[in-house]
Amino acid sequence: MKVGIVGASGYTGAELLRLLVRHPEVELQVLTAERHAGRSVEEVFPSFRGLRLPDLEPLDIDRVASKADLFFTALPHGTSMNVVKGLIERGKRVIDLSADFRLRDVALYERWYTAHSCPELLSDAVYGLPELHRSRIRGARLVANPGCYPTGVLLALLPLAEKGLLGDQVVVDAKSGVSGAGRSPSQGTHFCEVAEAIRAYNVGRHRHTPEMEQELKGLCGREVTVLFTPHLVPMNRGILSTVYAFLKRPIAEEELYDLYSERFKEEPFVRICPLGDFPSTSAVRGTNFCDIGLMVKGTTAVVISAIDNLTKGASGQAVQVMNIMAGFPETVGLEGLALFP
């Protein structure tokens, strides 16, 4: 299958490249990057030194669309929507890694982000969490790849939500590596501001909140409020989400464990830790796995999930989505094991 990446010079672009270059069913036909147009990939990412890859080119939608059948768009929100529209209009299938098509309610999107130029596409877009929407992904022409935080949080909450056990509020305390902030330099991502430190940011008002609430509402059939506190951790990759779920009834840890094991037993990328064990981001580094650990105290369940924000939280999940859309085995190209240490 011929594929293209629009926006190949950021970290999610690089992660797509890492996975797709070795994907046996895929030919990378076109790579775009505005600032770096005309340069080779290895100039921008020396880790790809020596590979034969198309050079980075500017985004000419007609030219680009003609080269491939499926596109990954890895652009900032607001910018992405117009490109996606152009590709869809030219009959291409698109996996969009921005936030532009994740919220089905255009008013909600516009409150949290910016004006939407093509709300008519929102109803077509499938929220690309395979563990929740696999069958709809299969036939989709446009998939909104989930945000990094929502991926880890929703997987942590799925079984409880589906069983009707969730109360009205969930507290999500998440800790992310720095690559989630993208490759553009900023004071907040300067090494010396991050190393040897931890801090919370966007407390109670991070843009991934409505995305979590939308999907929880879909699962629970009513509003569930997410109180979300993201933190920045001095590491490159990984998100650990510590989720405090206040349940409608007490549940034994063993029952919780069985519930999660059963729910995810066919899922190739979700692993439940034995009771007493809790996940570390180091065990999923560079992989598409989501590891989940469980604890109960009274009617509060503590569910902890670990993902790699660039893999299961972004590009790996996008490749998983592509595999589903194309009818490939779902794990192909995603078999690499964690780089530990």
Site for its own copies in 27-86 (CB under 8 A): 45-51
Is residue 20 within 8 A of residue 6, CB to CB? The reply is no
Peptide bond into 341 cis (omega under 30): yes
- Considering only residues 186 to 245 of the shown chain, the ones binding its own copies according to CB under 8 A are 186-187, 189-201, 203-204, 225, 227, 229, 231, 233-238, 240, 242, 244
Q: How far is the CB of 117 from its own copies (least distance, A)?
A: 30
| Interacting residue with its own copies among 85, 116, 285, 312 (CB under 8 A) | 285
Q: How far is the CB of 59 from its own copies (least distance, A)?
A: 21
| Interacting residue with its own copies among 18, 23, 208, 263 (CB under 8 A) | 18
Measured CA to CA, the distance from residue 108 to residue 185 in angstroms comes to: 29
Q: Under DSSP, is residue 20 helix (H, G, I), strand (E, B) or coil? A: helix
Measured CA to CA, the distance from residue 178 to residue 183 in angstroms comes to: 9
Q: How far is the CB of 133 from its own copies (least distance, A)?
A: 23
Peptide bond into 230 cis (omega under 30): no
At 29, the amino acid letter reads: Q
Span interacting with its own copies, options 65-73, 75-83, 216-224, 299-307, rule CB under 8 A? 299-307
Is residue 210 within 8 A of residue 146, CB to CB? The reply is no
Kindly state whether residue 112 participates in binding its own copies, applying the rule CB under 8 A: no
Residue with tokens 């999610």, as numbered in its chain: 12
Closest CA to 301 of 193, 181, 161: 161
Total residues contacting its own copies (rule CB under 8 A)?
Answer: 82
Q: How far is the CB of 152 from its own copies (least distance, A)?
A: 12
The smaller minimum CB distance to its own copies, of residues 135 and 187, is found at: 187
Q: For 84, list phi and psi in degrees, rounded to 5.
A: -60, -45
Catalytic site residue 220? no
Kindly state whether residue 105 participates in binding its own copies, applying the rule CB under 8 A: no
| Interacting residue with its own copies among 61, 106, 283, 332 (CB under 8 A) | 283
Handedness of CA 66, 72, 76, 78 (dihedral sign): positive
| Interacting residue with its own copies among 53, 108, 326, 338 (CB under 8 A) | 338
- Considering only residues 242 to 271 of the shown chain, the ones binding its own copies according to CB under 8 A are 242, 244, 271
The smaller minimum CB distance to its own copies, of residues 77 and 237, is found at: 237
- Considering only residues 122 to 181 of the shown chain, the ones binding its own copies according to CB under 8 A are 169, 171, 173, 175, 177-179
Q: Which two tokens stand for residue 85?
A: 């529209």
Other CB atoms within 10 A of residue 37 CB: 14
Active-site residue list: 148
